[in-house]
Structure 1
Amino acid sequence: MNLLRLFIGALFFTCAMLVFASNDKVDGSNNDTASMQKPSTANSDTSLLSLESATETLHETVMGIVKNFIAHTPYLIAGLFVLILTGLFAMLLGKVVFKMTGKSNMRTSLRELLTRMTRISVWLFGFLLAAMVVFPGLTPAKALGGLGLASIAIGFAFKEIFENFFAGILLLWKYPFETGDFIECESIVGKVEDVSVRMTQIRKTNGELVLVPNSFLFKNPVYVLTEQDERRMTLMTGVAYGEDANAALPVIEKAVDACESVNSDQPIQVFLHGFGDSSIDIEVTWWTEATPVGQRRSRSEVVGAIKQALDDAGIEIPFPYRTLTFKEPLMVKQSAEG
């Protein structure tokens, strides 16, 4: 695939050089033709170009393009050869940089960033060198000046692409998250599968693959759910107003501590939270695995354990109560049978 991209890029570069060289020759031929026609115009201002003159001009123009192409063929072949060598050298040097950085404790995102920047630098140098080979009169100063003007024009034309590109570099450099982390940004929650210089691939918890532009992640808050191996979970429960709420606290704590998904090394906290509509509310917190599926599994286990423990202790978990109050006494009608 890389060789195919290299060949296509080199082909486009060769075509562009041919068009540029042909335009120069056409302009020169037109100037020569104009100078040849001046005496004819001076001799006869009212005469028109004859069919033979037009045919001759067309023939000279075509022959000029062909001769110019033949004359520039060695330079174009040399420029194409330089681009092919540039692509091969960029791939080789990128692999060397990635392998050398792997021997250190450098994180993966930074290794990938250094590899990509190395390849981009090699390609820029290769394009400049190929341009100077195709156009022998082109100096490095002129090439850099033209590259600067072209960069400004391309920057305005492809603003969003370059915005995502630089945002991707900053994301890879600052290391907010790694491949394999679960993140949340706006309404997107999922696992990071790949971070490139243009976009980030996120696999949502329902299996959908989302391609998120890096500028979106750079501009909005990103929550890294798996930055640590564990996360604290919070659950609200309650007991009836007629029960001893303080007696329910150790029962709940013991039930939560017995769950396999709960980390017993971290504190399990059980506190009375407030007065609910139908119960005394109790807040329960514990630590468990940081992944979304691990959190759901732990919550399910804890809810079942609390329900079973309170039932065994004879402590009521109330369902919603509603009390109806009437300002006037209700009229009770007795049926005829009664």
Structure 2
Amino acid sequence: MLIQADSTQIALQSMNFDFSGAVERVQNWINGFIRLLPNIIVASVVIAIFYGLGYLARKIIQRRTTKNQRDNLGEVLGGFVRWIIIILGFLLGATIIIPSLKPGDLIAGLGVSSVAIGFAFKDILQNWLAGLLILFRQPFETHDQIEVNGYEGTVERIETRATIMRTYDGQRVVIPNSDIYTNSVLVKTAHEKRRSQYDVGIGYGDGIEEACEVIRKAVAEVVDVEKEPGVEALPWDLAASWVTIRIRWWTHSRRADVVKVHARVIQAVKNALDQAHIDIPYTTEVHLFHDQTEASEGNRAEQREGWPAPEGGTQPRWRAQMDTKKIDSGKTESQK
């Protein structure tokens, strides 16, 4: 019983000792905070000033780029400059709060940490840099119609990580900027006009020059077909059942205009050829059927159609027919 009381007293004494030490440490922290309070206030003011400068720089960049009709570039570049200024403010505030902390040490630590962050967020940084280069070089802009990686549609937004595209059937495609920057991109609306073409066949008995002239006149009268460059109708191929004529015309490069004019051109060409009585033939095939017997066809090998060489004296049908005609003609002459 006495031993238990002694152990309890020792534990209480140790607890009292630890409590007093904790109080002392807290008191030291408070005193240190009071000593650093002026520095903290100054650092907070500096950080607030840099934060305001970052916000102001972002607004100025966005205003300048909006005048040049490059809103996406202003948003991305303004955000980047804003965060750079804010980070510089935090670093300067840290040197004010802790005077022993040198700017060189901060820069060295920032360099090591940036390498680690670069490895950890490689894909994100790669897409971000690709997006920034796309916005700077402008291979395409918002509302352009492009084709990349098998996707085709209208560009809605160019963000820091990806490019947002809307397909012609109303679906949204998010393509990472690194994929766009490292792959071929077909910009359908890079120029104001785009050429389309279509092949039509006429009969071999029809005049090629007449058909080309009829087609040219019909397509030139179609609504929204550009006058310059003019419509072309070129003899292109001698197919098995028709003469191919390739029609070329120019329209506005927007997808909606291309599709609508394409439908009108086909309708106009069909009506014009019908009125000119020019045939549009379909595929013609000839099938020959043989019973392929020796009695009716003769020796197939002597007809050189891939059959084995003959062993007997059986003659091909055409030779047997010639011999029969000679015999009949000989009999007729002898009777005379």
**TM-score after normalising by structure 2:** 0.74
Choose the corresponding residue for 2:112, options 125, 145, 149: 149
Q: 2:125 aligns with which of 146, 159, 162?
A: 162
| Deviation, structure 1 residue 310 | 0.6
1-structure distance, mates of 2:289, 2:26: 102
Q: Answer with 105-114 or 194-203: which moved more.
A: 105-114
Q: 1:68 to 1:199 in 2, by over 3 A?
A: farther
Provide Cα deviations, 1:84-123, integer angstroms capped at 9, x if missing partner: 44333222221123324555x5755554554344323312
Query: Superposition pairs for residues 251-330 of structure 1, below 5 Å?
Result: 251-328=214-291
The equivalent position to 2:143 in structure 1, one of 160, 175, 180, is 180
1:246 aligned onto 2:209: yes
Partners of 2:72 and 2:157 within 8 A in 1: no
Cross-structure match for 1:231: 194
- Runs of 4+ aligned structure 1 residues displaced above 6 Å come to none
1:77 and 1:208 map into 2 onto residues whose CA distance is: 53
Measure the CA separation in 2 of the matches of 1:316 and 1:302.
18
Structure-2 change in CA distance of 1:237 and 1:139 (3 Å)? same
- Once the two structures are aligned, what percentage of the paired residues are identical? 32
* Counterpart mapping for 1:98-247 below 5 A: 98-102=62-66, 107-108=70-71, 111-112=74-75, 114-247=77-210
Task: Tell me which of 1, 11, 14 is aligned to 1:53.
Answer: 14
Moved more, 147-156 or 136-145: 136-145
Aligned-partner Cα distance in 2 for 1:328–1:63: 117
Q: Quick one: structure 1 residues 67 and 250, their matched pair in 2 at CA, closer, same or farther if it must change by over 3 Å?
A: farther
Secondary structure of the 1:168 match is: helix
Note closer, same or farther for the CA distance 1:270–1:141 as it changes in structure 2 (3 Å cut).
Answer: same
Q: Distance in 2 between matches of 1:83 and 1:325?
A: 93
| Displacement of 1:71 | 3.8
Residue 130 of structure 1 aligns to a residue in which SS? Answer: helix
Offset, 1:152: 0.5
Code of the aligned partner of 2:286: T
What secondary structure is seen at the aligned counterpart in 2 of 1:207? Answer: coil
Between structure 1 and structure 2, the one with the greater Rg is: 2
Q: How far did 1:72 drift?
A: 4.0
Is contact 2:65-2:71 (8 Å) kept? Answer: no
Change beyond 3 A, Cα 1:124–1:277: farther
Structure 1: runs of 5+ lacking an equivalent: 1-48, 331-338
Alpha-carbon distance between aligned partners in 2 of 1:78 and 1:291, rounded to the nearest angstrom? 58
Q: Unaligned 5+ residue runs, structure 2?
A: 1-9, 294-336
